[in-house]
Amino acid sequence: MGDSLLTSLNDLPIRDDLRGREPYGAPQLDVPYALNTNENPYPPSAALVNAIGEAVKGVAGSLNRYPDRDAVKLREDLAAFLNRDTPGAGLTGRDVWAANGSNEIIQQILQAFGGFGRTALGFEPSYSMHPIITSVSGTAWINAHRDADFGLDPERAIKAVEEHRPDVVFLTSPNNPTGTALPLEAIEAVLKVAPGMVVVDEAYAEFRRAGTPSALTLLPGNPRLIVTRTMSKAFAMAGTRLGYLAADPAVIDALLLVRLPYHLSAVTQAVARTAITFGDELLDSVNALRRERDDVVAWLRAEGLEVAESDANFVLFGRFADRRGVWERMLDRGVLIREVGPPEWLRVSVGTPEEMAAFRTALKEASKEVGEAGPGGVGGRPPSGERESL
C-alpha cells in the first residue's frame, strides 16, 4: 500500500446509495451480563457438544467436496421440527428452505422479489434489519406504523398496504423489539390485499404463550406467504448461523435463482441436523425462559413501569426521560441491555435467574442515579431524543 495518503470509504467508487451508511452494530462488549441480543443464555449440554463434535468429524473427511447444494436432509429435519411445533402444519422438505441465518433468508427473499424499482413495507417499531437488508438489496423501504400498544389493527394494516402496494410486506410476530404477537386476523387481512409477497418473521415463535397461533397454519392456499424461523434464539444456536423458512415450493424455486451455489456449508448442515435431534432438550430451556420472562414482566410492572406484552425472550419497558442515562449506568454495573425502539423505552433479553437478579439490581440503582421516578420519568433529565440505536 506504500505510505501514501490513507484511503477512506468515500474515496472508493462505492454505490451512491451506500455512501454515508453505518454498518449494523449491536455492541459485542465483554461484560458480565450481556442481555442485549436476545440469545438463549443456556449453552449446549455436554451431550450435545459431544454429538456436534462427532457430526463435524463425520463430514470432515469429505470437506474436499462441495456440500449438498439443496440441503435436502436438513430441510426434511426442519420440516419435521415445524410439524411438531405446529401440529397440522403438514410440511415436507419441499416446503422448507435454509440459509446462513434468517438474515440471509430475508436477503434471498428481497433478491428474488424486491430489487431496484420495487418496494418493501414494514410496520415499525420492528426489526431493524428489515429496512437495512431491503435497501442494500436496492429495494425502497416504506415505513408504516404499529398501533400505540405495538399491535396492528387489521383495518389500518389493509389501508397501508392498499395505499403503497408494496412488492414485499414484513410482519414480525412476535415482534422485535416490542415482544408483541400478531393475531392471525391481522396477517390474513394483509394477505388478502397484498399484491406481492407477505413475510411473517417468526424468529421468536417458540417463546410464544400457549394459545398464540403460528402463521404456519395459514400456509395452505397462500402461495405468497413466507414464514421465517431461526435456530439463533430458542434453539440456542446463534453461533451456527442457521435460519429457515416455510412456504409454497414455488417460492423456494424462486430463491434457487438467487442463492449462491453451495451457500450452506457441510459443517453447518451437520451441526444444525445434530442440534435438531436434541430439540426436546433445547426447548426445555425455552420453558424456563418463558417463566423467567413472565416474572420480569410482573416485576417491572410492580415497579411502576410500562411494559409491552411479550411473547418473546425479551421485554420492552419504559418510559424513561433519559433512557441513555439509565442504559449507561446499567453498563457501568456490568449489565448490557439494548437502547432500541421508541425513544423512551429499553429492551432486556431474558437471561438466567442470576442474570435477571443482576438486571433488577442494576436497573433500580441506575434509575435512582439518573433521577428517574417511575412511569414517564417525572423528575428525570430532559429527553435524550431519538438516537442511533446501538
CB of 101 to ligand PLP, least distance (A): 3
Binder to ligand PLP among 95, 167, 201, 339 (CB under 6 A)?
201
Assigned C-alpha cell, 349:
433479553
For ligand PLP, the closer of residues 89 and 133 by Cβ is 133
| Single-letter residue type at 125 | P
CB of 125 to ligand PLP, least distance (A): 11
For ligand PLP, the closer of residues 341 and 380 by Cβ is 341
- The piece of 47-55, 101-109, 144-152, 317-325 that touches ligand PLP (CB under 6 A) is 101-109
For ligand PLP, the closer of residues 32 and 239 by Cβ is 239
- The piece of 81-89, 230-238, 260-268, 330-338 that touches ligand PLP (CB under 6 A) is 230-238
Contact 24, 129 (CB under 8 A): yes
Q: Is 232 in the site for ligand PLP (CB under 6 A)?
A: yes
Binder to ligand PLP among 203, 266, 307, 330 (CB under 6 A)?
203
- The piece of 95-103, 110-118, 132-140, 273-281 that touches ligand PLP (CB under 6 A) is 95-103
CA distance 267 to 148: 44
For ligand PLP, the closer of residues 37 and 375 by Cβ is 37
For ligand PLP, the closer of residues 81 and 127 by Cβ is 127
CA distance 245 to 79: 10
For the chain, the 3-state helix, strand and coil shares in percent, each to the nearest 5, are: 40, 15, 45
Buried b (16+ CB within 10 A) or exposed e, 31-51: eebbbbebbbbbebeeebeeb
CB of 201 to ligand PLP, least distance (A): 5
Which alpha helices (DSSP H) does the chain contain, by range? 46-60, 72-85, 101-113, 129-136, 154-164, 184-193, 249-256, 266-277, 279-302, 323-332, 353-370
Binder to ligand PLP among 36, 40, 86, 102 (CB under 6 A)?
102
User: What dihedral do alpha carbons 310, 142, 169, 211 form, nearest 10°?
Assistant: 10
Q: What is the DSSP letter of 38?
A: -
Query: What residues between 254 and 293 interact with ligand PLP by CB under 6 A?
Result: none
Nearest to 202, CA basis, from 210, 189, 213, 190: 213
CB of 204 to ligand PLP, least distance (A): 7
Q: What is the DSSP letter of 126?
A: -
Q: Is 111 in the site for ligand PLP (CB under 6 A)?
A: no
For ligand PLP, the closer of residues 110 and 366 by Cβ is 110
Torsion angles phi and psi, residue 267, rounded to 5: -65, -45
Binder to ligand PLP among 36, 86, 103, 268 (CB under 6 A)?
103
For ligand PLP, the closer of residues 127 and 327 by Cβ is 127
Binder to ligand PLP among 81, 123, 127, 150 (CB under 6 A)?
127
For ligand PLP, the closer of residues 71 and 203 by Cβ is 203
Place of cell 457441510: 266
User: Taking the CB of residue 101, how many other CB atoms lie within 10 A of it?
Assistant: 20
Q: Is 176 in the site for ligand PLP (CB under 6 A)?
A: yes
Question: CA 46: distance to chain centroid?
Answer: 27
Q: Is 172 in the site for ligand PLP (CB under 6 A)?
A: yes
For ligand PLP, the closer of residues 283 and 373 by Cβ is 283
CB of 95 to ligand PLP, least distance (A): 19
For ligand PLP, the closer of residues 100 and 352 by Cβ is 100
Place of cell 417463566: 291
Nearest to 137, CA basis, from 120, 161, 160: 120
Assigned C-alpha cell, 112:
428474488
Query: What residues between 50 and 89 interact with ligand PLP by CB under 6 A?
Result: none
Q: Is 349 in the site for ligand PLP (CB under 6 A)?
A: no
Nearest to 341, CA basis, from 176, 146, 197: 176
Q: What is the contact surface with ligand PLP in residues (CB under 6 A)?
A: 38, 101-103, 127, 172, 176, 201, 203, 230, 232, 238, 243
